[in-house]
Structure 1
Amino acid sequence: MPIKSLDAFATERRLFKPQALSALNGSILGIDADHYLSVISALAATYPQVVTGGSSLPPKVRDVLVRDLATLKAHKITPYFVFRGLPAASANPHLFKQYDLQNAEMRSQRRQAAWNQYEASSEAEHATLAAFHDAGLNPVTNSAAVFRSLTALLAEHQVEYSVAPYYAWAQLAYLLSTEHIDAVLGPSELLLAPHVDKILVTMDDKNASVLSKKALLQELGGLTHELFVEVALAAGCDLTGNYTFPPFEHPINVIGQPTTPIRSAADSLAQYPSVYTAVATYGADQGVFATRFRRAFAALKFCPVLHADGHVGPLPNTGDVPNDSHDFLGQRLPDELIYYQNAGLIGPDLLSVIVSGFAAEEAGLDGDADIEYRTLVKKLPETYSKCLNLITQALHRYYHYKKYNIVYFWQPETENALNSQFQPALYVGLNWKADKLEGLSSKPVNDITVSSVLDLVSNSSADWKKATLTPNHTVLLSTNTQILANTLLRLLQLEGYIDSKTHALTKWGEVLQTFGNEPAALPLLSLLRNGLLDNKPLTPQSVTAFPPSASPLLLKVAAFVNSTSGTYRGRFSRQALAMSSIAATQTRATRWLLESTLFSLLSFAADKGRDASVYELGRALPFATLPSSITGNVVDQLLRGASLEEVAKVCYHGDSAAKIVSEQVAQFKAVWQSLFAAVERAHKLDLVSADVHKQFADGNDVCKNKL
């Protein structure tokens, strides 16, 4: 987020200057992902299709991103995206005390109101869109909400990216100072770094808008860099959690007119020797304000970045980090974990749980309208506990005994304990360490999938399986293919698809193998095994009833099919978005378990250096993209009796509309047929009841007749 009110001040003083993109020809442009998303989301906010309600990128935002990547390529500019990492304690004083879900609870209520307004209107009017935006149904104002989808899109376009230890803009400032990049596009916090002289704020197909620090400081009264830092902290920025310190919260200028916090903080230097003095001497709670200000200042001065040699530390020439850095940064994780986060092997969302001690589950995108979402969320502690145990066993003993909790949106005041302690530790029983992978050894890491390792186990000899069980197997895994294959084998054993004693497929493993090479296979079967994948309509929670559907089961499966073709312009179904929330949550949980299993393997069974191949491994991990709600909305309309041509006309524009919908339906049918074959196999193995099998058979008949 930018320094509070600075953009308005700079616009008023005409400090944003145009610069031709051609001037950056041949350069590397570092881009703050959060800042960039906030900019393009604002540009796309007036389009109905920006509100997807899913965890995937809204189609319009995706279109703008792809267009911008093409623009940069045309100007021979190499983009390098940096994502936000762990939260810092200076920006959230409650981070390590009590997780506050009041805002999340409020968003749930707003979502319900927004849906009621949306479903009562005949068209997606602008006021309705604004209600969705305020309710949190437009999730792209920060990268955390769409991290998986965005990184997958960048990898698809062969664009490099990384994750900062904490703040993306701090990492970009380091990269600029060491000449790893030539220019930066990001928020005004970048100007807090002493060596950053100018930043790009926005861009179009020809020009970029540039803000110069020298011109800004001159307009603020000729400030020095040191005083500008104090002014920015007082006005509010990332380091303070956008908190504006008194007395600048509701500023009034000398003639009694309202002014901006940034201007008011700068003007206070006429009365005080420093802005800190103005904050520290204000009101009865001056000690509280002074402490928070000092923490924000320390977080800036000692903000960790990942250095070129792989160690994590503050910017060069900063000095030694104080021993009480946990007061303003939070609990520090080992450099190894931060490096793996930077390479995309483990996400900041999972590491934030370890640092904060809390996993917070917010309401579904339907506004808590169904009970099934709550049922799924209540089952997450089992998966989260496994994740915590796999990761913390390789960390300091403190993390073994640290208390971890999960907080639900419907009980924000209640902390539910997560069990991170298993006896013996989970990694002890995950005994896969196969360096000889038969036919997989020669394959590139991108070809290693759940399906391929299942085939490996199924087709391998008894001697090979016995060799993988040998306890004194001392060879360390080193290649990406070995590491990913063994990670997937351990994950499948952990989830009950491979027998831990024989390393043969279990009955559920045979079912998963029947499913074939579908990315959604593992999350879908997880729902099936938990009794959440059936042909029953969603149970209403905050609505009278969901509209009837010819096959609720088909709609549930459609939520796992991620469509990125075209720009969707149709209406949205609350039921489709309810299932989209379930699909995204289950997929995220599967990804977390994969990342935890991978880190455990890297810690105890692999010899992986810090080089470019680590980033290649990060790009190859499965479950990278969370599903969107687009296919679910299309299938919902078809199940209600609309023809393919009618859906195409309403949902897409242009001559290719019918082709796009046909491709979406074909993609859905492929997933459905694979799932139905897997359920048939499960029924033969007595893993699902006759009633469940009949529900799938009925759904298959509807699929044949209506789609």
Structure 2
Amino acid sequence: MSVQKFDQWASKHVDFCHLQSLKDAVIGVDASYYLDLRLNGNNEEPLKHALGGIPFCFKKTVEDDIGLLRQHGITLIFVFNGLDYVNKSRPDSLSTESRRVQDEAWHHYLSGDSKRTVTDFGKAKYPIDIMTRPLQKILIENKVQFLVAPYSATAQLSYLLKLPEQYIDAVMGNTEAFLFGIDRVVTDINLNKATLSLLTRQACEDLLKVNGDALRDAQLILGTSYTPTFPPLEGLGPGKSTSIVDAIALLNTANKNVIQLCNFHREHPQVQTLKYADRYKKAIMTIRHHVVIEKNGAVAPLNFNTAPGDVHEFIGQRLPEELFFYMSKGLLGAQVPNWLTSGEIVLSLPGGVLDSEPYRRLVIELLNPLRTEALKISAESLNYYYQSRVVKVDPWVPQDTSNLTIEIKNSPAIKTRLAPWKVRGTDIQTVLSKPSHTSFFLPCLQSLKDASFAQKTITKERVKHPALTTPDEIVVDATFRFLHVRGYVDDNHKLTTWGKALEAALAVTDEETTVVGVEMLRLGLFTGNFATGTPVARSDKDYPRKVYTNLISKTACLGRIRHKPMGFVGPLDRQLLTFAWKITAVRRSVRDLLETVTTSMFLNGDVERERDDWTLLVSKLPFAGDNGSGLGIAVKTYLDAVNEEGEITDALKTSIKQQEGKYNWFGQLKGGGHLTKSLEQAWKLWDAVCQIVTLITE
């Protein structure tokens, strides 16, 4: 039997407020709630699950919300979740139900039932974590302030709301805000009506005929991000969903006391397994003494004077305040610090992805060296506790990963190798002499081809500290260090064979996705095989065509299709979706590494810390986007069309360009020459990969 979340019940009891009455108000937005609302709260783009990456409507949707509120004089401040706290619930996108409906959607698609395909994909939950960086990028572009909390965004918003200076006037979030003493939440922005949806805790208490403590406990046993659903609630009977009303009724059987309720059901196997009474107690303490970043930059628990000395037992291991500060600015994501504090790397399978041996091998094994590098670089700038951490790999499948355990102190030192990189002043202008470059990678690589300049980048003498001050100095030096760590540059600051190959590939297409493509090539991921690892049968009369179609389509997934901000209606391909998620895994790994390299420069005193250009600095860091499989599908559609016809005729070209028949979805691509421009991007990516292979095999 399903459990209806409190938010679902509460959504029927909202009031509305016209935006005109909120002029000059400041609303603090729980970014994870907002992402879930816009990605999973409607069926505007149900096939996003089948494509992966940033949904086509997403940017416009966010900018429409920002524009509407700004038009009415309302300011937004987004607050993102930081580190995972102890016992935090798994995201809905990884739930059994979300996986099930996606598998059914693919089954219906292969059966030709398009209506049920769309319906089932619309029931799935899109992952929030991969959308954090894209949302932050949009916020920076639109000059909207954001903050990353040490742990829970809801706790941070509660702190900001209660400041005497009235930092924010209201909170946009879910009903878990009530747990932190927030009396009213904005639950939605209604674009067409120019209103906000509002929900008050008092209204919920009145409707449910309970007081504040009883509502809190009913929420907790129904299931929150702090507690799982109380197991007996999941088995109340067939035929209906369990709701907050049932949770209150069950609580009333135990005199409204959760501990007593646990005692009544102490023989229930799941209550025993979960140690539910202990989980409840920890949840209460987690809420009461959650850790936030204060207005002076200090990181401390709420209700500090009454907080116990073992806050780490129910929140998590504490990091240095300086690291929390860099996280709060968006310079460093939460993933690597989470590994350090928890001592484990939890790996999961995205919904819809084929759980194949090649995918498992990539995510579980092949990316472990990058994770090791990121952990080592982070830990070398922290205290001995973190430098000696042992971090285990915990995949989604039963597998012995003891050989993948990362013993940080036994990993090769990196800090001393990177220390000589202090390119600054006029030397930065030498690197960035060509303003046409779209990324920092190509100019950095090209500058090192000059032997005299490469020698200058090895700083031997003492320099004034901090050595680096401007955003360009920071990002250029971070790029050099990243290239060094990844083996594109050697200890003498000369290009390696792979460095020369990357430089040649970037000369073909100067995009950050080219770097991801080279990393994937190094990992052996570009093959003509299917996603399951099964090769095309050599006896197949179309063997060469199928192999090259697979290869070129996979390569195209590195890029982003030029699509209008509307729902996708073209063909789907689970093989390409799986490959697109491989690209996502590699991209996130190199972004994590680059972030740790950049942050270590601050921690080691190489960079000026007192600054007010954090958003500009963060905006210059690459690998924030996620492109999905859309371009790969377009390329495969085009190549299949060309190959099916036997010869390329003017009639075929006209049919494709005019979007006739099975090519009509090409009409969704935006701008003049939409198909041509998308395909040109794909051909450039393919040319870049071919260029690398040629250089490496010479």
Q: Shared fold (TM-score greater than 0.5)?
A: yes
Alignment counterpart, residue 433 of structure 1, candidates 416, 421, 431: 421
Structure 2 counterpart of 1:518: 511
Alignment counterpart, residue 491 of structure 1, candidates 482, 497, 503: 482
Structure 2 counterpart of 1:537: 529
Structure 2 counterpart of 1:118: 109
CA contact (8 A) 2:133 2:624 kept: yes
**Whole-angstrom CA distance in 1 between matches of 2:535 and 2:494:** 47
Shift of 1:18: 1.1
Alignment counterpart, residue 282 of structure 2, candidates 272, 295, 310: 295
Structure 2 counterpart of 1:26: 24
Shift of 1:438: 2.8
CA contact (8 A) 2:423 2:457 kept: no
**Whole-angstrom CA distance in 2 between matches of 1:554 and 1:109:** 31
Shift of 1:465: 2.2
Shift of the 628–474 alpha-carbon distance from structure 1 to 2, 3 Å rule, reads: same
**Whole-angstrom CA distance in 2 between matches of 1:542 and 1:131:** 28
Shift of 1:541: 4.6
Shift of the 423–120 alpha-carbon distance from structure 1 to 2, 3 Å rule, reads: closer
CA contact (8 A) 2:251 2:261 kept: no
Structure 2 counterpart of 1:229: 216
**Whole-angstrom CA distance in 2 between matches of 1:113 and 1:594:** 38
Q: Counterpart of 2:659 in structure 1: which amino acid?
A: E
**Whole-angstrom CA distance in 2 between matches of 1:459 and 1:278:** 75
Structure 2 counterpart of 1:173: 158
**TM-superposition CA deviations, 1:587-645 (whole Å, max 9, x none):** 11111111121222222242443543234322221111122211111111011116243
SS across alignment from 1:67: helix
**Whole-angstrom CA distance in 2 between matches of 1:600 and 1:269:** 50
Shift of the 557–437 alpha-carbon distance from structure 1 to 2, 3 Å rule, reads: farther
**TM-superposition CA deviations, 1:476-496 (whole Å, max 9, x none):** 233322222211111111111
Instruction: Please say if 1:202 is aligned against 2:194.
Output: no
**Whole-angstrom CA distance in 2 between matches of 1:245 and 1:370:** 34
**TM-superposition CA deviations, 1:299-357 (whole Å, max 9, x none):** 00011111121111233x45243222222112222222222222111112232222222
User: How many correspondences in the alignment?
Assistant: 656
CA contact (8 A) 1:365 1:581 kept: no
**Whole-angstrom CA distance in 1 between matches of 2:208 and 2:400:** 44
Structure 2 counterpart of 1:553: 551
Shift of 1:558: 0.7
Structural mapping, 1:210-249, within 5 Å: 210-221=198-209, 223=211, 225-240=212-227, 243-245=228-230, 248-249=233-234
Structural mapping, 1:45-124, within 5 Å: 45=43, 47-54=45-52, 56-91=53-88, 114-121=105-112, 124=114
CA contact (8 A) 1:112 1:367 kept: no
Shift of 1:26: 3.0
Structure 2 counterpart of 1:509: 499
CA contact (8 A) 1:453 1:488 kept: yes
SS across alignment from 1:525: helix
Structure 2 counterpart of 1:398: 385
**Whole-angstrom CA distance in 1 between matches of 2:618 and 2:459:** 27
CA contact (8 A) 1:251 1:260 kept: yes
**TM-superposition CA deviations, 1:64-107 (whole Å, max 9, x none):** 33332332233232322222222221335xx9xxxx99968997
Shift of the 630–358 alpha-carbon distance from structure 1 to 2, 3 Å rule, reads: same
Shift of the 677–538 alpha-carbon distance from structure 1 to 2, 3 Å rule, reads: same
Structural mapping, 1:687-702, within 5 Å: 687-688=696-697
Alignment counterpart, residue 453 of structure 1, candidates 425, 436, 444: 444
CA contact (8 A) 1:185 1:200 kept: yes
Alignment counterpart, residue 527 of structure 1, candidates 520, 537, 542: 520
SS across alignment from 2:697: coil
Instruction: Please say if 1:275 is aligned against 2:261.
Output: no
Structure 1 counterpart of 2:394: 407
Q: Counterpart of 1:664 in structure 2: which amino acid?
A: S
SS across alignment from 1:89: coil
- Please, what TM-score do these two structures have when normalized by structure 1? 0.83
Percent identity between the two aligned chains: 23
Q: Counterpart of 1:383 in structure 2: which amino acid?
A: L
Shift of 1:130: 4.6
**TM-superposition CA deviations, 1:177-200 (whole Å, max 9, x none):** 222222221101112222x22111
**TM-superposition CA deviations, 1:532-558 (whole Å, max 9, x none):** 335x23363589989936532221221
Moved more, 107-116 or 519-528: 107-116
Shift of the 268–372 alpha-carbon distance from structure 1 to 2, 3 Å rule, reads: closer
**Whole-angstrom CA distance in 2 between matches of 1:363 and 1:116:** 19
**TM-superposition CA deviations, 1:654-700 (whole Å, max 9, x none):** 795774333322333343444444555x2xxxx225xxxxxxxxxxx
Q: Counterpart of 2:376 in structure 1: which amino acid?
A: N
CA contact (8 A) 1:496 1:508 kept: yes
Q: Counterpart of 1:354 in structure 2: which amino acid?
A: L
**Whole-angstrom CA distance in 2 between matches of 1:103 and 1:40:** 18
SS across alignment from 1:44: coil
Structure 2 counterpart of 1:613: 613
Q: Counterpart of 2:417 in structure 1: which amino acid?
A: G
SS across alignment from 2:82: coil
**Whole-angstrom CA distance in 1 between matches of 2:139 and 2:408:** 34
Alignment counterpart, residue 675 of structure 2, candidates 651, 655, 661: 661
Instruction: Please say if 1:44 is aligned against 2:36.
Output: no
Q: Counterpart of 1:478 in structure 2: which amino acid?
A: T
SS across alignment from 1:352: helix
CA contact (8 A) 2:19 2:196 kept: yes
Instruction: Please say if 1:353 is aligned against 2:353.
Output: no
SS across alignment from 2:87: helix
Shift of 1:560: 0.7
Shift of the 303–8 alpha-carbon distance from structure 1 to 2, 3 Å rule, reads: same
SS across alignment from 1:30: strand
Shift of the 200–102 alpha-carbon distance from structure 1 to 2, 3 Å rule, reads: closer
**Whole-angstrom CA distance in 1 between matches of 2:243 and 2:103:** 34
CA contact (8 A) 2:516 2:586 kept: yes
CA contact (8 A) 2:669 2:675 kept: no
Shift of 1:385: 1.0
Q: Can you give the 5+ residue segments of structure 1 that lack an aligned partner in the other structure?
A: 690-707
SS across alignment from 2:529: coil
Shift of 1:421: 3.0
Q: Counterpart of 1:307 in structure 2: which amino acid?
A: E
